[in-house]
Structure 1
Amino acid sequence: MILEFLLVAITQGIITKSKGELTEFTYTTSGFVCQNGYSTSKTIAFPDSFANVPKVIFVPTILDFASFSSSQFTVKLEILSVSLTNFQIKITCPSKKVNTYRLSWYAIDDSRLEVINESINDINLNPVGSKQYSIQNPNIKKATAMIHSYGINGALSITLTISELTTTYVKVNINANSNTLYLGYQVVLGTDEVISFIDEIAASNTYQSQHYPIISDSYFVASFRRLTNSGTNAFRLQYFITTTSTQIYYDCSTWGGAYPSNTMNVFWLGTTLNQEFLPMECFTVRVSKLYDRYADLKPAFQLELLEINKVLNTIGSESIVLNESIQLLTIHIYYKCPSNNTKVHSQLNRCNSCTGSNNIYNLNHYCHGSMNTINIYAKYQAQANYKELTLTRASNGVTIVQTLRNRSVSQKTVLKVEFLDI
C-alpha cells in the first residue's frame, strides 16, 4: 500500500510540493520475495501535476534484512524516472532476502534545491575515497549525503561526509570498508533557506531524539549518513516520527538482535521560501559623446565591467558569476561611430517592482558632427548573492542576461544596447 499525504500549495491544479510513504516493499505484500535476483518497481503518482519536474528525495525508515552469515548481501534502490505527475522507483535484491524496505519520499519543485543520485558498483574492486559533483546553483550553501542502499560481504561500515562545497561543485568523502560491494546514496543541496540542520546523532543503542519545535512550511527529514553492523547479524533498523501540536521527534530502534550503530542527520527541508533572487537594477546612467583621437586604434565597440576588470570586445558569449560581495557594478559600453547615420538604443533594467515602461531605462543617442564615440556608464545595484551573468557581443550590439534560480529558473535581460542605422 502506498500512503500519500500532506498535499499543500495547490494553485489551479498545480502543486509545488508533496510527500508520502512507500510501504509495498515488504514480505507481507503478495509476490514480494526480494532475493536471488528479484527486482520490482513501483510508480508513485503525485496528487496533482507539478509545473516543472520536481526533485525527489527518499529516505529509508524501516530496514529488515536477512542474516549475512552465509553469503553476500545487497539491496539496491534507484529512481528510474520522475515526471510532472509521478516517479518510478525500483528495488533489486541480487542475493539474500530483503524482508522489508520502507521509505519516506519528498517531492519539491524549486531550483533552490538540488538532488544528486549516486550508485557505485564494485566499490571493493575499485575503491572510491571521494566523489565530486557539479552543481547548477552558485548560491547553494548547505549539503548533506544520505545512505539508502548498500551491498556487503562481511561486516558493514559506511560513512558519508560532505568535505567541500563551492559555487560550482560538492565533494563527498566515502569511508567504506573493504567488505563493501555496492553503495547507493543521495546528495541533497540547498540555499540557506532550503536546508535547516537540526541535529546529528551518533547512536549505538535504541534512543528517542530530542523534541524539536515544529517549523511551518517545512518537511522533517531524518537520514542516515553512517551505518555499521557485524558480519553475522541480521540488519534491522527502524525509526518512527511522532508529531504533536507544537513539537516533532522520532524513536530509532531495532528488534530481534543487536542495534546497528549509526549516525543520523536531521534537518528541516523548506518548502515555501521567502528569499527571491532578483535581477540587478540600474540606478543611474550617464552617456557622453566625444571626439576620441585614438578611436582608430580601438575596437568598434566593447563591454567593460569595471569592478572585476572584465572586457568583452570580440563577437561571442561568455558566462561569468559575480561574487556575492559585489553589490555595486559599473558597466561601460564604448561605441565608435562609423557614420552620422547611426543611433545607439539602450534598454537597462531599472526597477524590479515597477510595471510597464517604468521598469526600464529606454534611451536613444545619435552619432553626429565631430563626435565619433558614444560612452554609456551604467551603475547597477545587486543583492548580496552570487550573480550568474551571460555577456554577449554580437555584430550590432551587446546584452547582459542574468539567470535567476527561484522556484523556477528564469532569465532577465538587465542590459541591451543596439547599434542601429537610421
Structure 2
Amino acid sequence: MGISLYLMVILKIASAYIYADTGIFNGFATATDSTFICNFGFSRTATISYSDQFEKIPQVFFVHEYLESEMADMGFRLSITSITQTQFTLEISCNKQRQYTLRIRWFAFDDQRIEVISNFNMDVPDDKTFSIKNPNAQTGFVAVTSMRYLGSIDFLLSISQIKTNSVTVSITKTAGKFANLKQIGYFVVVGVEEAFINLGLKTATGAFSSGTIPIQSNRWFAIALQGLAFANTKNLRIRATYSNTATTISYTWGTWVEIETPNSHSQIWIANQFTTVFKPLECFSIRISRKQVLDLLTLPTFYLELVQTNQIYTTYGNYELLVDKTITPLKMNLQIKCENGMKVQADFNKCNACNTKKTHSFTYNCFNQMNYIGFFPLFSQAFPQYNSLKIKLQSSLLEISQVIYDQSLTETTIVKIQILNQ
C-alpha cells in the first residue's frame, strides 16, 4: 500500500505541468481600480499567474480586447518585463493624456512549434526584420501592444515576408498621418502550419459584428489588432463583447459611446494541442562499399557529400546547414580512411519509435587491402519539413545531429562515425 501510494504521488507530480494556458487580465482599468490614473508619467506593474506550473519558462503574448485612450498628446508603453514558470509581469507607463482602460487576453506556450517575438515600444515606427529560430515556422500574425500619437493616425501592421530564418513586419505610411505615430509596439507570433487558422483581416469602419464563427477544437480564439484609423476628435474606444454558445463564437467590436474608431484586426484560432510531431530523419536504406586505395595520404580522413545540394565537407570544424523540405529522400555520400590497425564504428538513426535497435550499426576492422570505406545512406521524413543539421568533423569523428523544434527543443545524432583502435 505504501509503495502504491508513493507511485501515485510521483505520477501526480510528473503530470502536474501544463504546456499551454490562457486568461484575461483586467487590472489596468480605472473602472476596476480608482487609483489607476495612467497619465503624465504614471507607471504600474502587475503580476499575472498561470492556472498551474509550466515545466519550463513559457513564451507569452497577449492581444487587446478593450482599449480607451484620450486624444493626443497620448501614449502608453506596455511590455512584459519578466516570465517564470508560474507567472509573468506586465509594466505600463503613460506619456501625457490618459489611458483609461486596457483589457488583454494573454496566451502562454511551452512549445517550440510556436515562436513569440516581442517588439515592445518601438520609438521610431518602421518596417523591421526579425530572426526566427524554427525554420518550419512559416506562418504567423502581428498584434499591436502599445502606441503613442500626436494627432490623427492611420496605419496597418502586417507580415510582408517570412523565410526559414527571418520574418519581416511592414507598416503602412499614410501621407500626413504617419508622422503623428511616434511609438508602436507589437508581437510577431510565428508557428508551424498547424499552429494557426487565420480567418483573415477584418476592416471595421463602423459598428462591427463578427457573425457566427464555429468553434475549432483544441484551439483558442484571439482578436489581433493590426491597425487604426483614429481621427483624434474623440477618445479612442474599442471593446470586444462576446456572445458565445457551446459550438460558436460571436462578438461585436467597437465603441460603447460616441463615434467608432476605425480599425483592422485578424481573427486567429491558436492551437493549444498539436497533432503534427517533428522527428529526426530516419535512415531507411544504406549501401556500403570497401576498397583498397593505393595512395591513401592524398585523401581526407572524412569526405561528406550532401548529394542533392552538392555540398562537400572535408575540413575539420563545426558546420550548420538547412536542408530544404523538398529534398526527399536525403542522400549522403560518406567516405572514410580505414588505416591498418584501426577500426571504423558507424551508426545511423534508423527508427525514432523503436525501443531497441534504433540504429543501423556497423563495425569494420581496417587492413591494407581494405583501407577505404564508403557509406551511402538514404534518409526519409514523415512529412515535408526543413531539416536543421549540425556537422562535427574531427580527426577521428564525423557526427551529424539534427535540431528538432517540437514541443521541446532537442538535438539528435543521426550519423556518428568513429575511427578507433582495434
TM-score (norm 1): 0.93
1:13 maps to a residue whose letter is A
Structure 1 residue 174 corresponds to structure 2 residue 166: no
SS across alignment from 2:297: helix
Aligned to 1:345: 345
User: For residues 1-40 of structure 1, what are the alpha-carbon distances to aligned partners after superposition, in whole Å with 9 as ceiling and x for unaligned?
Assistant: xxxxxxxxx9621001111111111113142111110000
8 Å CA contact retained: 1:288, 1:374: yes
User: For residues 313-339 of structure 1, what are the alpha-carbon distances to aligned partners after superposition, in whole Å with 9 as ceiling and x for unaligned?
Assistant: 111111101000012122222122332
Aligned to 2:283: 282
Q: Per-residue deviation at 1:144?
A: 1.2
User: For residues 56-95 of structure 1, what are the alpha-carbon distances to aligned partners after superposition, in whole Å with 9 as ceiling and x for unaligned?
Assistant: 1211111111233xxx110111010111111001111121
Aligned to 1:378: 377
Q: Of the candidates 39, 43, 48, which is equivalent to residue 44 of structure 1?
A: 48
1:54 maps to a residue whose letter is P
8 Å CA contact retained: 1:154, 1:232: no
SS across alignment from 1:296: helix
Q: Per-residue deviation at 1:120?
A: 4.4
Q: Per-residue deviation at 1:242?
A: 2.7
SS across alignment from 2:308: helix
Structure 1 residue 421 corresponds to structure 2 residue 421: yes
Q: Per-residue deviation at 1:159?
A: 1.0
Cα distance in structure 1, aligned partners of 2:123 and 2:413: 48
Aligned to 1:25: 28
Could you tell me the percent identity over the aligned residues? Answer: 28
Unaligned runs of 5+ in 1: 1-9
8 Å CA contact retained: 2:28, 2:102: yes
Aligned to 2:323: 322
**Moved runs in structure 1, 4+ residues, more than 6 A?**
none
Name whichever of 188-197 and 253-262 sits farther off: 253-262
8 Å CA contact retained: 2:121, 2:146: no
Cα distance in structure 2, aligned partners of 1:121 and 1:402: 36
Cα distance in structure 2, aligned partners of 1:104 and 1:151: 21
Aligned to 1:404: 404
Aligned to 2:387: 387
8 Å CA contact retained: 2:227, 2:265: yes
8 Å CA contact retained: 1:152, 1:179: yes
2:45 maps to a residue whose letter is S
Q: Superposition pairs for residues 202-351 of structure 1, below 5 Å?
A: 202-339=203-340, 341-351=341-351
TM-score (norm 2): 0.93
Q: Of the candidates 131, 137, 141, which is equivalent to residue 140 of structure 1?
A: 137
Structure 1 residue 155 corresponds to structure 2 residue 155: no
Cα distance in structure 2, aligned partners of 1:18 and 1:375: 50
Structure 1 residue 59 corresponds to structure 2 residue 59: no
1:180 maps to a residue whose letter is L
8 Å CA contact retained: 1:48, 1:85: yes
Q: Superposition pairs for residues 82-97 of structure 1, below 5 Å?
A: 82-97=83-98
2:390 maps to a residue whose letter is T
2:42 maps to a residue whose letter is Y
Unaligned runs of 5+ in 2: 1-12
SS across alignment from 1:49: coil
Name whichever of 324-333 and 290-299 sits farther off: 290-299
1:193 maps to a residue whose letter is E
8 Å CA contact retained: 1:367, 1:374: no
Cα distance in structure 1, aligned partners of 2:113 and 2:66: 29
1:154 maps to a residue whose letter is G
User: For residues 171-200 of structure 1, what are the alpha-carbon distances to aligned partners after superposition, in whole Å with 9 as ceiling and x for unaligned?
Assistant: 111125100111111111111100111132
Cα distance in structure 1, aligned partners of 2:116 and 2:149: 25
Q: Per-residue deviation at 1:129?
A: 3.5
SS across alignment from 1:50: coil
2:54 maps to a residue whose letter is F
Name whichever of 135-144 and 289-298 sits farther off: 289-298
Cα distance in structure 2, aligned partners of 1:49 and 1:370: 62
Q: Per-residue deviation at 1:307?
A: 1.7
Cα distance in structure 1, aligned partners of 2:100 and 2:338: 78
Q: Per-residue deviation at 1:238?
A: 0.6
Cα distance in structure 1, aligned partners of 2:83 and 2:111: 14
2:265 maps to a residue whose letter is M
Aligned to 1:6: none
Cα distance in structure 2, aligned partners of 1:111 and 1:122: 30
2:394 maps to a residue whose letter is A
8 Å CA contact retained: 1:119, 1:182: no
User: For residues 224-248 of structure 1, what are the alpha-carbon distances to aligned partners after superposition, in whole Å with 9 as ceiling and x for unaligned?
Assistant: 1111211221111111223211111
Cα distance in structure 2, aligned partners of 1:148 and 1:299: 55
Cα distance in structure 1, aligned partners of 2:14 and 2:196: 24
1:387 maps to a residue whose letter is N
Name whichever of 325-334 and 285-294 sits farther off: 285-294
Q: Per-residue deviation at 1:148?
A: 2.0
Report the CA distance shift for 1:296/1:313 in structure 2 as closer, same or farther (over 3 A). same
8 Å CA contact retained: 2:398, 2:417: yes
1:392 maps to a residue whose letter is K
Q: Per-residue deviation at 1:411?
A: 0.8
Cα distance in structure 1, aligned partners of 2:40 and 2:60: 28
